[in-house]
Amino acid sequence: MWDSNLTVQGICVLGSTGTIGVNTLDVIRRHPERYNVIALTANQADEKLFQQCIEFDPQYAVLVNNDAAQRLKEKLDVAGVNTEVLSGVESLDRVASLENVDQVMAAIVGAAGLLPTLAAARAGKRILLANKEALVMSGDILMKEVERYKAELLPVDSEHNAIFQCMPRHFEKGLEKVGVNKILLTASGGPFRTRSIDTLCDVTPEEAVAHPNWVMGQKISVDSATMMNKGLEVIEACWLFNAQPSMIQVVLHSQSIIHSMVSYTDGSLLAQMGNPDMRTPIAHAMAWPERIPSGVEPLDIFEVAKLEFEKPDFKRFPCLAMAYDVLNEGGTATTILNAANEIAVDAFLNRQLSFTNIPRIIEKTLETITKVEADNLQTILQADSEARQVSLDWVKQLEFRQ
């Protein structure tokens, strides 16, 4: 029930034209009395952002691409919409820090989401974190900024949101102190869970982005197919829940009904279940600690009938093994892993690289670059830049080779 004393929350959606952004706006659409859209941002999808501006009438709209921003401004002027159009990456930081913004949906894919997420933390916002790369690249820095500026960080990834829902109060004091002995991070296994390993070199981009359960963007879909997505989530979970890598176990669960589990020292195992729809974790994070309708159909457990689980095969999914390795190595290793993966996936989607060469690019890049302590943002950004260049060089050497 709506509480008339509840203040309307101002929302900034970073990456509003992507899958998470679109689902966020659908939840907002269902609760106009609770949420007011202050800013919407995208990279260059001006037509889609234009339609969103028409419906939600934000105060600001940001397009990183200058030409796209100009096109949007012209369209909004003709339509008589007063939304102010901004351009450039620095505008992302600006709208994430606006005084009348209470919550920031951090849904920009990849390393591009790091700086505006940090800006939101430094402005003391509630951050709805869908961008896992921000923690993968600079987990220590982001978590310290959240604490320093009294921001609030709530996970939106379905798995991390599920873990959050299953965690006891005050888990930040230490998992062992609150009786948690293991986090079970579920994974669908993607479209190639049972495909012959010998045929993976023939995988096409169209096959890789066809996820069996979830509707996601291309990059994340490929990450799911390689299981790098789960590797990044392991790293993210360590930072979010102050957990050691040994406490996180990946469990293949192809039905995507249980989104993750938490095991306790008394033998209890708590699981969060639901239909595979991102609106559930989005609505949970936006309204927490309350619950609001998300538009997702309730789970019919009689239709599910049974649940199936299996252990991941690291030979089939070498990216997952590499994620555990860089976690244990520490420093800038996770930043290098993330940058190399972004370059390799982009090359694969552009048909420059075979599917099985994605982990090879990452491995070669990790072997090439010296890792250092990730103790400041400049060091992290330098490691990211160097890793991208090294990865591009390896792509040129390995392109079209199996």
Would the pTM count as exceeding 0.85? yes
pLDDT along the chain (402 residues), means of 10: 67 96 98 97 96 98 97 96 96 97 94 93 97 90 96 96 95 92 94 89 88 72 93 95 95 95 98 96 97 96 93 94 94 96 95 94 96 93 96 86 50
Nearest CA to 225 out of 399, 354, 364, 396 is that of: 354
**pLDDT at residue 4, as a whole number:** 45
pLDDT at residue 215, rounded to an integer:
61
CATH domain 9-155 topology: Rossmann fold (3.40.50)
Q: Give the architecture-level CATH label for domain 330-397.
A: Orthogonal Bundle (1.10)
Dist. CA 158–CA 185, nearest whole Å: 10
* Residue 301 CB coordination number (10 Å): 11
The domain ranges of the chain are: 9-155, 158-277+299-316, 330-397
Question: pLDDT tens for residues 314-352?
Answer: 999 999 999 999 999 999 999 999 999 999 999 999 999
Q: What is the pLDDT of residue 38?
A: 98
Q: What is the rounded distance in angstroms from the CA atom of residue 239 to the CA atom of residue 155?
A: 11
From CA 281, how far away is CA 160, in angstroms rounded?
Answer: 9
Across the chain, mean pLDDT equals 93
* Structure-token pair, residue 355: 């599917």
pLDDT tens readout for residues 138-186: 999 999 999 999 999 999 999 999 999 999 988 988 999 999 999 999 9
Cα–Cα distances (Å) from 35 to 26, 41, 77, 103, in that order, read 11, 17, 25, 10
Q: What are phi and psi of 250, to 5 degrees?
A: -85, 130
